[in-house]
Structure 1
Amino acid sequence: MGGKFSNEYGTITMSEEVIAQISGITATECYGIVGMAARNVKDGIVQLLKGESLTKGIAVQVCEDDGVNIEFHIIVEYGTKISAVTENLMSTVKYKVKDMLGLEVRQIKVYVEGVRVDN
């Protein structure tokens, strides 16, 4: 499905992929987040997703009442406070999705799949 808007000129439909892309770009701009991780982790191996495959770490579900539920699978930077990073992620994504798309974010789930340590 996707987000739908109607006005006097017609109907606009946004795919869930677009919502995931905007959410993913916003998430990677947040402090402490290194990137997205694949949603279906097998054998306990987490892979850092970059660029075009960014949306594979995000699941979007559009609700009946023009709202969305978003699920993030992220990798955080070592030494950051995870609770602060996730709270920042949730508030920033909620604001950006409302501002850019006009959709109300009903629920955000964040799964921290790994911690990246730079040498």
Structure 2
Amino acid sequence: MTVKNHSDMGSVSIADDVIANLAGQAAKECYGLVGMAPKHVFAGIGVNKRAEKAAQGIQVNAYGDHSVSLDLHVIMTYGVRIPEVARTVMERVKSAIEDQLGLSVREVNVHVHGLKIPD
């Protein structure tokens, strides 16, 4: 599903992959986040930090009123305060989507799938 915005001059369509990539880039900048996890357990637990796979682990739900909600599936560093890191991720993702795409963000849900323990 894409978000479509109509005006007198024409229309703009934003694909879910664009929204997910932007959210992934914003999330990866947060301290304590190791990377994105697959949305489904059957896909395996692999950590992904590469830029071209930033959308992995992100589900976008678009609504007709030019708003979106996002579900981020993440892996965090062992020893961090999970609620604080999750709050930072939520704030940065919301800010990036609203500032760069002009969409309203209803909610950002962070699902922690694991912790990376240092070697």
Same topology, TM > 0.5: yes
Alignment match, 1:49: 48
Alignment match, 1:19: 19
Letter in 2 for 1:23: A
Deviation at 1:5, TM superposition (A): 2.0
5 Å matches for 1:48-87?
A: 48-51=47-50, 52-87=52-87
Alignment match, 1:28: 28
Matches of 2:38 and 2:15, distance apart in 1: 20
Residue identity (%): 36
Letter in 1 for 2:72: F
On the 8 A contact 2:3/2:64 being kept in 1, the answer is no
On the 8 A contact 1:49/1:57 being kept in 2, the answer is no
Matches of 1:94 and 1:54, distance apart in 2: 16
Is there any run of 5+ residues in structure 1 with no aligned partner, and where?
A: none
On the 8 A contact 2:34/2:49 being kept in 1, the answer is no
Deviation at 1:78, TM superposition (A): 1.2
Alignment match, 1:97: 97
CA RMSD of superposed structures (Å)? 1.4
Deviation at 1:9, TM superposition (A): 2.4
Name the TM-score, length of structure 2 as normaliser.
0.92
Matches of 2:97 and 2:42, distance apart in 1: 30
Q: Per the alignment, in what secondary structure is the counterpart of residue 34 of structure 2?
A: strand
Matches of 1:84 and 1:111, distance apart in 2: 13
Name the TM-score, length of structure 1 as normaliser.
0.92
Q: Count residues in correspondence.
A: 118
Alignment match, 1:37: 37
Is there any run of 5+ residues in structure 2 with no aligned partner, and where?
A: none
Question: Residue deviations 1:17-69, cap 9 Å, x none?
Answer: 000000000000011101000011129x5111232222120000101111001
Matches of 2:53 and 2:98, distance apart in 1: 23
Q: Per the alignment, in what secondary structure is the counterpart of residue 6 of structure 1?
A: strand
Deviation at 1:8, TM superposition (A): 3.3
